[in-house]
Structure 1
Amino acid sequence: MAADLFGQANAEFVAENYQRALELYTLAINGDSTKDEYYVNRSHANIKLEKYKDAVVDADQAIKLNPKNAKAYLRKGTALFAQKNFKSAKEEFVKGAEIDESDTSLKTLIRKCEAEMELQSKDDLPSQKGPSVGGGDMKEQTSSNSVMDAKQETTKVVPPAEESVPKIRHDWYQTQSQVIVAVMQKNVKKEDLSVNIEPTSLCITIKLSSGRDYQLNLDLAHEVVPDQSQIKLLTTKIEVKLKKVEGIQWSSLESKGEPSNIKQIGVSGASGADAKPKYPTSSHHTTDWDKLAQNIAKEEKDEKLEGDAALNQLFQQIYADGSDEVKKAMMKSFYESGGTVLSTNWNEIGSQKVEVKPPDGMEFKKWES
């Protein structure tokens, strides 16, 4: 029963129904409180709902149950980072990275914490001015210092990007099924490029000829499917095609609560998410990205697939075009049947559990750990 509730909670989370997912995760935990992944996923739901303290509590419980769960440290660090506790967040990310060295997103988050801590330390530097030795009006000096501190507070200067890091332009656009992020850097070698795609984040790192690294870190507005995303290394740019979990129109590239423009540390030239992307004004040629997106969408629609690929494309299209009830029916039937049944009729399966129906000649067995 707890496993079924956990599967339903995952389906609601994928559908971005985070409050419902939280409720189902709680029911699953009430049924079985020994599963560390239940707490990890509930922590993630709490983060999405901005309940960061609850997210930390869940992550701590997951760590208590399984100290080797790298995702638990990731969730705890993310919640602490959101609370601007960058030092503690870094400590958690470091612990996670030591367990799972292959997760490059943790290394990226560690660098983010270090950058935030450096800015924080500069902002928190106390005034070095104090009362003069040998007398004077202490009250007057204190007042003078307060004025000086206020003046410094209003004239803080953000450290400029290092001059040796070039300005690299990037844009994004979307089709019904994909979000495409393009970094306008020419002649990048395969060995100098690192792209890490997670369900809710994208990190692109390019080793430049100067020896420095260009890095673009994005917290995505909606979830994507890393395994079905593509990377194209062209002579004029790098193109990352992110497969959408749902065929919805993204209003912005980055997650809610963040500025709509694309952010990056130490590199300028970002474009707003709502602005229509174009080539630099020095170019005599401009690209109609809307028309390009339509052409790509048409190519994807007309592409002739065979076998399992064609079947998967059909299911994806039914889900993307379906009503909320159709989507709920597909999710419920898939998870409850262990992937053996896919129904679009909510009236038929909404009030009852979907039974496992293995293909002819095969037998369903539960895995016992």
Structure 2
Amino acid sequence: MSFIGERLLENIDAHLLQAFPSNANENFAGISMILVGDLGQLPPVNDTPPYNSRRRAELLWEQFTTIITLDHIYRQEGQGSDQERFRQLLMNIRDAKPTLDDWILLMTRSSMTIDTTTNQEFDSCVHLFSTNDNVHNHNKKKLQSLKNPVARSIASKVQNVTANQSGMDDELDVDLLLSKNARVMLTSNLWIEAGLVNGVLGNIRKIVYKLGSAPPQPPAYVLVEFDNYSGLPFNDRHPSSIPVLAIERGGSSQIPLRLALTIHKSQGLTLQKATIDIGPTERTSLTFVAISHVKSLQGLRIMPPFSDDRYEKLNKGKQVVGRKREEERLQSIQNNSRASHKPKDVDTTFTFISTNCKMYCTGYYCKI
């Protein structure tokens, strides 16, 4: 929900009023609305958070008056002192109050601090960058180091697409570079039960084209050997190698793979290991979102390192001040209605969510 800006919220309301004209005198056409997420995540792109709006969006946002906070941390769970310290570090950064000790601890995971063997282990893991340009440069360097032919796959347009379906989906790259042995990440849930989910890693083993087609057309499929595949084998000799076909999203067709990601496009992923490049300047929630992708401090490599002065103005940023003010308002609403709305257990929570009341749910890396 942190990605929802004033224009998007107003558009949701407008489309619901069109779909249910008989309820045109009610916000969201009287439809039950549930927002889930963490306002401490990345803010809307090229938009203003609705709680900082002076438009109709602010009135719509204030319709969410039932609040449930899920406060158990699942991604970085664990009882050891190191894990507790890592959780506190992340919370300090989220709340724009990092300490010098936090920075010193983070720099123990710098590429200049960890040993050569550990650095080599991280070379094959996911890399996250602050800009698209850095992603493209990294991908080119990695592919060049493989010394294998590179196939360029340009997303193809899907015929008979309506205006509402046009545009490229965030899951798919318009221009994708592929090469044998390249380390890639799946960006779509293809087969959840077998472990083929958004964020799983693997290595390209083959790139196969239909007869008569060639780059830059998308291949017929890319054979990827996935790290944690648990389904039926496609090939008995290579049981973890699975063909990944192009999928259709947003009016385009493309292979759902990526070599590296921007921090924005990686929001929501849980990673065992990752190399993080947060760029030269701090932006709202960027460092928090990037670092919190990993489950433990040992799963993090920071490259390049950064100085502690990037946090000096973090707590005074306009978006951070507005977000904290809104979180205080929501917390006050929750405290006032705690007795009547607080769920007793997990089953009650599910029952409560399924009712037709409007509800706002926030949490720091929650799992329902």
Report the TM-score, using the length of structure 1 for normalisation: 0.25
Q: Higher Cα Rg: structure 1 or 2?
A: 1
Compare the two structures and name the one with the higher strand fraction: 2
Give the structure with the higher percent helix: 1
TM-score by length of 2: 0.25
